[in-house]
Structure 1
Amino acid sequence: MPIPTTSASVARNLLRDDVYSQLRDAIVNGTFVPGEKLRDLELATWLGVSRTPVREALLRLAQAGLVVTRPGRSTEVAGLDASAVRDAQAVVAAMHQLAVREAVGQLTEGDLEQMRTANEEFAQALRAGNVDDALAADDAFHAVPVRAAANRAVIAVLEQFTPTLRRVERLRFGSLAGRASVALHSQMVELCAAGDAEAAAAVSFDTWCTLEPLLASLAEPRHTEGNKPDPRHDGDSDGPA
């Protein structure tokens, strides 16, 4: 889709992290679709900033695998690559497992209540088919143990790789498949409340592995109208795949 016509201008003291966050979120929520060209001048105008923080943000987005930059040519939104998503899933699951393990014992009753409330809001959003609210509630739920663990390395890794998963989770939370996470969330909270760090960490890991069926579907070959297998051949071909 084209650059939005509505203004996204913010305060003049917009930091490069804010520019990165806005562009990242626009990719995750589908404002910018896979294959779309991203031109720094147009993005700078949209955000009301200079081109420098936009260029820096695009470099960070490339490192996160959200855009593909071709030197001397163009920058475009990356597609949903099953291999890249699977790699991100493994890293994110491990980081949340570590965070929960370190957080148990540090979580207060207020923290546990925040997790329960976030999970209720998550369940309500899923029932209503509101993907944006479901993602926001899921973020709020998992942010509690990450914040309690206060492991800066974990936070940095999650900031880089979680957006890749969120693009896929938009598909999952729009269907019944995402509802399995509600029960896992509840189980994790009660294990945290009981002080069982290892069991709670294991459930946290399992929660992030519920994406597996969707990843498998992404990895399946797809044929377009202009690229269907030729029934006259048995599948072996020297032509384009």
Structure 2
Amino acid sequence: MPVPRSRGLVPRSLLRENAHRAIRDAIVDGTLAPGERLNDAELAEWLGISRTPVREALARLEQAGLVRTRPGRWTMVSPLDTRAARHARSVVSAMHELAVREAVPLLSAGDLTAMREANSRFASALRVGDVEGAIAADDAFHGVPVTVCGNDAVRAVLEQFTPLLRRWERLRFSSLAGRESVAQHDLVVERCGAGDTEGAVAATRANWETLAPLLDTATDSPHAADPTDG
């Protein structure tokens, strides 16, 4: 299993959480590809830690749908699964709608400015084909209401299901299809600024529904769920 050459990325504190984050991000950004077998010893060497926090991280990633295991036989990056992605989109959309609903009465002028600036960065990244920048700016945009609402349950659910969805959003943001999100973000900010809670929620829902056509036309990864060959 090829892994990034850099080592020692995870500090000794918070090994379990940081190992989870590092492996998760490598899956989301495609460094660890769908269907690729994972070896906990190699991952531990890459991160500069013991195998125990790596195994714990892989168990969490399996719960999130990013990793599949057959105990005693193999561990691999989950293939792209349209059904799982549709379920994740529904959950993620609902959580962002709830965050916006709770945040609208609390948003300050500074919060609205932060959302506008994030959307500007998002638009700029899309124009130059910077997928990583677009995802980071999109996260920043939607993160404002999530932070302002202060709902830890919303944050926890998004932490679990957003990474699975981000693998698909990379496809959308690498194409022209992602550019409609800029106008949708503008509408969310406009409705939030006007104190129109229901309008802001509806605009947020419409924004997340733009993933549906991608999922409807996509085919699952050709990698088999049971890689017994080799």
TM-score normalised by length of structure 1: 0.89
The CA distance in 2 between the partners of 1:180 and 1:15, in whole Å, is 39
Residue matched to 2:227: none
Q: What count of residue pairs does the alignment treat as equivalent?
A: 222
Structure 2 counterpart of 1:215: 215
- Per-residue CA deviation, residues 86-120 of structure 1 (Å, 9 max, x unaligned), is 00000000110000000001111111100000000
Aligned to 2:140: 140
Q: Deviations over 1:46-70 (max 9, x none)?
A: 0011111111110010000001011
Which residue of 1 is the match for residue 153 of structure 2?
153
Q: TM-score, normalised by structure 2?
A: 0.93
Matches within 5 A, 1:48-87: 48-87=48-87
Residues 161-207 of structure 1 show CA distances to partners (whole Å, capped at 9, x for unaligned) of: 00111000001100000001000000000110111111101111111
| Helix, strand or coil at the partner of 2:76 | strand
Q: CA deviation at 1:213?
A: 1.1
1:102 paired residue number? 102
| CA–CA separation in structure 2 for the residues paired with 1:178 and 1:59 | 32
Look up the SS of the partner of 1:30 in the other structure.
Answer: coil
CA 85–221 in structure 1, closer or farther in 2 if over 3 Å, else same: closer
User: Once the 2 structures are TM-superposed, how far is the Cα of residue 218 of structure 1 from its aligned partner?
Assistant: 1.6
1:93 aligns with 2:100: no
Shift, 1:5, TM fit: 1.9
- CA distance in 1 between partners of 2:24 and 2:197 (Å): 33
Aligned-partner Cα distance in 2 for 1:180–1:7: 39
Percent identity between the two aligned chains: 61
Mapping 1:10-49, distance limit 5 Å:
10-49=10-49
1:20–1:57 CA contact under 8 A, matched in 2:
yes
Distance change (3 Å), C-alpha of 1:85 and 1:109: same
Does the C-alpha gap of structure 1 residues 49 and 66 become closer, same or farther in structure 2, counting only changes over 3 Å? same
Worse overlay, 9-18 or 167-176: 9-18
Amino acid at match of 1:144: V
Which residue matches 2:226?
none
Q: CA deviation at 1:3?
A: 1.3
Q: Distance in 2 between matches of 1:99 and 1:6?
A: 37
Instruction: Report the CA distance between 1:12 and its aligned residue.
Output: 2.1
Amino acid at match of 1:49: I
Change (3 A) 1:130 1:8: farther
Does 1:127 pair with 2:127?
yes
1:79 Cα deviation (Å)?
0.7
Secondary structure in 2 matching 1:20: helix
Alignment of 1:2 with 2:36, yes or no, is no
**Once the 2 structures are TM-superposed, how far is the Cα of residue 14 of structure 1 from its aligned partner?**
3.9
1:221–1:159 distance in 2 versus 1, CA, 3 Å:
closer
The aligned residue for residue 183 of structure 1 is 183
In 1: Cα distance, 2:4 partner to 2:219 partner: 31
**Structure 2: 5+ residue stretches without partners:** 223-230
Paired letter, 2:58: L
Post-superposition offset of 1:6: 2.3
Q: Is the 8 A contact 1:65 1:164 kept in 2?
A: yes
Deviation at 1:11, TM superposition (A): 2.2
